[in-house]
Amino acid sequence: MNSLSALLKKYNLQPRKSLGQNFLVDPVHLAKIVAVAELTPADTVLEIGPGPGVLTRLLAEKASQVIAVELDPHMVNLLHNEYGHLKNLTVVEADILQTDLDRLLSSIKHDPQPPTPNPQPPTYKVVANLPYYITSAVIRHLLESSPRPERVVVTVQKEVAQRMVAKPGQMSLLAVSVQFYGRPSLAHHIPAGAFYPAPKVDSAVVRIDTFTQPPVAVTAADHFFRVVKAGFGQKRKQLKNALAAGLHRPMPEITAALVNANIDPTRRAETLSLEEWARLAEGL
């Protein structure tokens, strides 16, 4: 904490609430995040929101290269000045939600080998302490991008972490979205006091190991999620009502599709499993 305070003071900086800047300063928890990521010397790591680079330095010690995407220009200046000597670190000033990940990864190559005729999509892992206010949007952006990261290790609000790993009965649109693309697990708990400034809630580290193929058979992912979003659009209503309203389709058609998928039309969205959503989407 003292070293971070001195670093911020050196650049006349304060954490910006508008950017959700709560910096993890406890070395024990920082080391745990790196351990959960299981980095190898061959890995490329994308870090989102590195801030003053406390985690960045640890990632650079373990990985082949680190791409740190930071929105705050003042933090970008700090990162360049403090860590510019690290040959395997590239700092990019950008909004991650507006960043084409394929283009970003393809533009940063430290591989001296000549290009191959049929290059494979770059593989990479994501490790980040995400600002709370953009957590869901960033997770969705990462999992829906091509190429998809092979592993995502993120520190998020504890409640959001619990939603990601939820089981049928407590499912949400976020849970379905994450579990469609990968296997999430709660890896570590971080108390609010481990951050500067301390947020009002505790955090948790979630690890998502992504799938090469979805765990359920669907014809089109966009149609699958259109059905899921409609189901959760009015989650306090019975599924038949929420789907009819969200998809703008006749109630008899919706009811028939639910029955054919072996789903009680009076159930609610949070009770459905991924497999049930897939059957329903195919039926519709």
Please indicate, yes or no, whether the overall pTM of this predicted structure exceeds 0.75: yes
Flag whether pLDDT at 184 surpasses 60.
yes
Domain's final residue, options 178, 210, 242: 210
DSSP codes, the chain? -HHHHHHHHHTT----GGGT--EE--HHHHHHHHHHHT--TT-EEEEE--TTSHHHHHHHHHSSEEEEEES-HHHHHHHHHHHTT-TTEEEEES-GGG--HHHHHHH-----SPPPSSPPPPP-EEEEE--GGGHHHHHHHHHHSSSPPSEEEEEEEHHHHHHHT--TTS--HHHHHHHHHEEEEEEEEE-GGGEES--SS-EEEEEEEE-SS-SS--S-HHHHHHHHHHHHHTTTS-HHHHHHHHHT--HHHHHHHHHHTT--TT--GGG--HHHHHHHHHH-
pLDDT, position 118: 54
pLDDT (tens digit per residue) in 201-252: 999 999 999 999 999 999 999 999 999 999 999 878 899 999 999 999 999 9
Tell me whether residue 242 is in a domain. yes
Confidence of residue 2 (pLDDT cuts 50, 70, 90): low
137 and 255 part of one domain: no
Total domains in the fold of the chain: 2
Domain's final residue, options 210, 243, 274: 210
Which of 114 and 210 is assigned the larger pLDDT?
Answer: 210
pLDDT, position 174: 95
pLDDT, position 107: 86
pLDDT (tens digit per residue) in 51-73: 999 999 999 999 999 999 999 99
Q: Give the structural domain span for 67.
A: 2-210
Domain's final residue, options 163, 180, 210: 210
137 and 257 part of one domain: no
Tell me whether residue 216 is in a domain. no
84 and 168 part of one domain: yes
97 and 205 part of one domain: yes
